[in-house]
Amino acid sequence: MDLGGRAVRGRRPAAALRHALRAPMRVLVEALAAEFGGIRTYVDALVEAWPHACPEDEVHLLVREEHPGLPGPTLPGVTLHRVPVPGPAVVGRAWVQTREVSRLARTVDADVVLATLPATTLRHPGLPLAVVVHDLRHELRPGQFSRIRRWQRSAAYGRSYRLADGFCAVSQRTLDDLHTLHPATRGKPSVVAHHGSDHVDSWQAGDRPGGHAVAFAHQPNKNLDLVLDGWTALGADAPRLVVTGVGADRDAVATGITERGLSTVELAPYLPEPDFQALLASAGLVVFPSDFEGFGLPVVEAMRLGIPVVIGPEPATREAAGGHAFELAGFTPGALATAVRAALAVSPAQRQAARTHAATFTWRRTVSQTRSLLASLL
């Protein structure tokens, strides 16, 4: 069997026949890099939705030894495979991915491999390999990465782009970037599979007073300085703001808040996932003026929770929002202040329209769209 000019090795005739008859699929999901943050949410929600969307399939999830387990109760058709990853993680993970993907694919007689990040196996596993592409920020915003981090991503991602048989992009923006920056990928099958938002349905508001705004600071693209300058421009109109994700530069951020005289801004401590969920679920506003996103998960999370969202004039978050967010006219403090005032005056009709739009983003749909790519590779 030939797949895009590459002989697909180790395929049994029976497996090819199963797919010709649109029979169940055995999928090996490689998620060794899904440790925290958005990638962890993506993997957990995708795997949890898979048995509901495609109950006939068999999913094998490859994760680090420290992974706490399946994202919910025992999931029918989903098997967890934990493996240790020696340090340093960047080197150890690549070695383990290369070894374990091929080994486990043979052991479980997988039909296809889905790598949840382009940093995956360095060797083709001998059966169709699909790679999930989240963003190409390291190429389009290189100044937001250290030199070593850019090199690591460029080397690992570039190899995967050459090695993969197909691509699953989390937004049209990401797929367009992939095709523009790596033209050879245009000749391979691809699909856009947006994230879901329905994982927030189980989130419960915390016991802190509600109505606060939430902003993010875990990456430079989140534009925390712009948010703080916008809060200064708001003056007496500024609501209470809780900033999450502040890391090693916490002291510098705290100094900046003090120098601006922002008494309504609070730096959250490190928040375990349940506490973060409670913080967001009880918010009255989400401020997300990122200058670069692959998708922008907080946008659809907030809208599904009925919370107005402020975004920047950025393609991916605009794609996710579908016209239901309050968009900055430009990346300036005045523009942010204007958008925040508009969001705080959101009408019930606007809030409901945003909620209805966000409800179309389901993880079952993500599974269905992803699976369509996998089927095309077979």
pLDDT given for residue 301 in this prediction:
97
pLDDT given for residue 19 in this prediction:
47
pLDDT given for residue 66 in this prediction:
84
Closest CA to 280 of 249, 335, 316, 242: 242
The 10s digit of each residue's pLDDT in 224-243 is: 999 999 999 999 999 999 99
The CA-atom distances, in angstroms, between 83 and each of 61, 97, 99, 153, 315 are 11, 10, 11, 23, 37
Contact in structure between 253 and 236 (CB atoms under 8 Å): no
pLDDT given for residue 21 in this prediction:
37
Contact in structure between 115 and 132 (CB atoms under 8 Å): yes
- Residue 168 has φ and ψ, to the nearest 5°, of -115, 110
Residues 258-269, mean pLDDT to the nearest whole number: 93
The 10s digit of each residue's pLDDT in 149-189 is: 999 999 999 999 999 999 999 999 999 999 999 999 999 99
24: how many CB neighbours lie within 10 A of its CB? Answer: 15
The 10s digit of each residue's pLDDT in 1-52 is: 333 333 333 344 445 534 433 679 999 999 998 877 788 899 999 999 999 9
Cα torsion through 63, 17, 368, 6, rounded to 10: 70
Q: Which CATH number fits domain 2-196+362-377: 1.10.10.10, 3.40.50.10260, 3.40.50.720, 3.40.50.2000?
A: 3.40.50.2000
Q: Say how far apart CA 317 and CA 58 lie, in whole Å.
A: 33
Contact in structure between 188 and 4 (CB atoms under 8 Å): yes
pTM beyond 0.85: the answer is yes
pLDDT at 278 over 50: yes
- Residue, of 80 and 6, whose pLDDT is higher: 80
The CA-atom distances, in angstroms, between 218 and each of 42, 212, 248, 267, 276 are 17, 19, 10, 12, 13
Contact in structure between 324 and 307 (CB atoms under 8 Å): no
The 10s digit of each residue's pLDDT in 305-359 is: 999 999 999 999 999 999 999 999 999 999 999 999 999 999 999 999 999 999 9
Residues 270-295, mean pLDDT to the nearest whole number: 94
pLDDT given for residue 73 in this prediction:
62
pLDDT given for residue 75 in this prediction:
85
Residue 193 corresponds to which tokens in the numbers above?
């599979």
Contact in structure between 287 and 342 (CB atoms under 8 Å): no
Contact in structure between 14 and 130 (CB atoms under 8 Å): no
User: What is the number of alpha carbons within 13 Å of residue 143 lying toward its C-beta?
Assistant: 3
The 10s digit of each residue's pLDDT in 202-227 is: 998 876 667 899 999 989 999 999 99
CATH node for 199-358: 3.40.50.2000
The 10s digit of each residue's pLDDT in 105-149 is: 999 999 999 999 999 999 999 999 999 999 999 999 999 999 999
Q: Which residue has the tokens 């998960």?
A: 297
The sign of the CA dihedral 54, 57, 58, 62 is negative
- pLDDT band for position 71 (cuts 50, 70, 90): low
Entry field: residues in the chain = 378
3-state secondary structure of 360: coil
Q: What is the DSSP-derived secondary structure letter of residue 185?
A: G
pLDDT at 260 over 50: yes
3-state secondary structure of 270: coil
pLDDT given for residue 361 in this prediction:
98
In the chain, where the domains are located: 2-196+362-377, 199-358
